[in-house]
Amino acid sequence: MSEVTALARPLTILLAAPRGFCAGVDRAIQIVERAIEKWGAPVYVRHEIVHNVHVVERLKRLGAVFVEELAECPTDRPVVFSAHGVPKSVPEEASRRNMIYVDATCPLVSKVHVEAQRHFDAEREIVLIGHAGHPEVIGTMGQLPQGAVTLIQDVAEVADFQPKDARKLAFVTQTTLSVDDTAEIVGALQAKFPEISPPHKEDICYATTNRQEAVKALGAKADLLLVIGSKTSSNSIRLVEVGLRAGAKAAHLIDDAHGIDWSWFDGISTLGLTAGASAPEDLVEAVIAACQARFGVTLQDVEVTREDVIFKLPRVVATAQD
């Protein structure tokens, strides 16, 4: 906690907890780091390993080369698939080219892939609730033959959707959606198609849910909410939306402390601060330090739960020296 000087305007910072890295992001970053340790640089990564510019730039400095397609990778260097998951065609192509590859897909995304396959094997038509063009959506739809999965993005699309057989229908969801928005879409699907099969367990991941609940807990108390995360990060964008719905008077997504417009703080006495699941904690600390340089800061944690989830690394990089 900083010392409050007589001249500094007081500012209370409500720190959301949990915030920042989730287990899937931490695992994906470790996979790239271990791959570089094991095989040396360069190690290729198909798509951004996680959606955060600072994480990507640090891994580039270590020797990671980020590409969008497998065709950009030489066959004599290892390649890592991002945490968002990839279509089945990608590892199949890597195998055909005799490439070394490591799949860093988040285990909770892999769970959605397994669910989709289970429904397909049961001859059900599948609805995927998600955002068009997001790599996780592309990866999930790419687990099954073209046409097997229909993407639904909002309630309006539910109204227009006509399945082949409403009695043989199932849904899965992207893991990083707004919990409330998704519940609304699911409700519309279940109202229109009462026999639709849900996932065994909710697809929205624990980290997305927890970070949204933490923002809800501080949203109504915050004059201003800052969410640290990249503009490509779905879960970070959702935190801004959730904060505004929860009552924050204003909310902004920033990459780091340099993204702050200090005019946002005019008349502000309480700041809510959080970070998306792919944003490192040092960015949070830098925003706090920037505030402390301008205000008399009091820090308060707003904790809704504690996370202790850890995902094992793939065996091929679990011991980098092997």
Q: At a CB cut-off of 8 Å and minimum separation 6, what does 183 contact? A: none
Half-sphere exposure of residue 223, counting CA atoms within 13 Å on the CB side?
11
What is the C-alpha to C-alpha distance for residues 322 and 317, in angstroms, rounded to an integer?
8
Using DSSP bridges, classify how beta strands 251-254 and 224-228 pair: parallel, antiparallel or unpaired.
Answer: parallel
Helix axes 234-246, 179-192, angle to 10 degrees: 90
Distances 225 to 10, 215, 222, 264, 291 between C-alpha atoms, Å: 16, 9, 6, 10, 13
Q: Specify whether the CB–CB gap between 272 and 214 falls below 8 A.
A: no
- Cα R_g (the chain), whole angstroms: 21
Find the angle CA(141)-CA(146)-CA(152) to the nearest 5 degrees: 50
Alpha helices in the chain, H assignment, sequence order: 23-39, 53-62, 89-96, 107-121, 135-141, 155-160, 179-192, 206-219, 234-246, 281-292, 315-318
Cross-strand bridge partners of residue 101 = 79
Q: Specify whether the CB–CB gap between 79 and 94 falls below 8 A.
A: yes
How far out from the chain centre does Cα 137 lie? 12
Provide DSSP, 208-260: HHHHHHHHHHHHTT-SEEEEES-TT-HHHHHHHHHHHHHT-S-EEEESSGGG-
The catalytic residues are 136
